[in-house]
Amino acid sequence: TQLLEQSPQFLSIQEGENLTVYCNSSSVFSSLQWYRQEPGEGPVLLVTVVTGGEVKKLKRLTFQFGDARKDSSLHITAAQPGDTGLYLCAGQYSGNTPLVFGKGTRLSVIA
């Protein structure tokens, strides 16, 4: 059972386009994180959100945590080839539990 569903699984866009990827669950999380993974490397943390409705911005990336803390979205403005990678969301049920990861959205930005 996949506790965190990410969509879409694959996304291929042209440089300069905007995009949004989603992370959904039927469970409530105490915190949620987004990671980016490049080929041959481990995931790298982008952001942590902990409050329902929270919005965080990291340059062209905007992260939102759902009001009910069951879902999250990542929006990229004016995508660049350097944004190419596997975007993973990961949730923590409580402070005592380790992260559970979604399968990720594989993004390809074509110049």
Partner 1 sequence: DAGVIQSPRHEVTEMGQEVTLRCKPISGHDYLFWYRQTMMRGLELLIYFNNNVPIDDSGMPEDRFSAKMPNASFSTLKIQPSEPRDSAVYFCASSPRRIYGYTFGSGTRLTVV
What does each C-alpha distance from 103 to 18, 22, 86 come to in angstroms? 22, 12, 9
The one among 15, 16, 18, 103 contacting partner 1 by CB under 8 A: 103
Q: Which amino acid is it at 64?
A: Q
The length of the chain is: 111
Q: Are strands 85-92 and 105-110 parallel, antiparallel or unpaired?
A: antiparallel
Q: Which pair of structure tokens corresponds to residue 31? A: 């915190």
Q: In the bound complex, what is the minimum distance in angstroms from residue 17's beta carbon to partner 1?
A: 26
The one among 28, 44, 58, 78 contacting partner 1 by CB under 8 A: 44
When asked if residue 101 is in the footprint of partner 1 (CB under 8 A), the reply is yes
Determine the interface stretch with partner 1 among 11-19, 66-74, 75-83, 99-107 (rule: CB under 8 A).
99-107
Site for partner 1 in 77-96 (CB under 8 A): 88, 92, 95-96
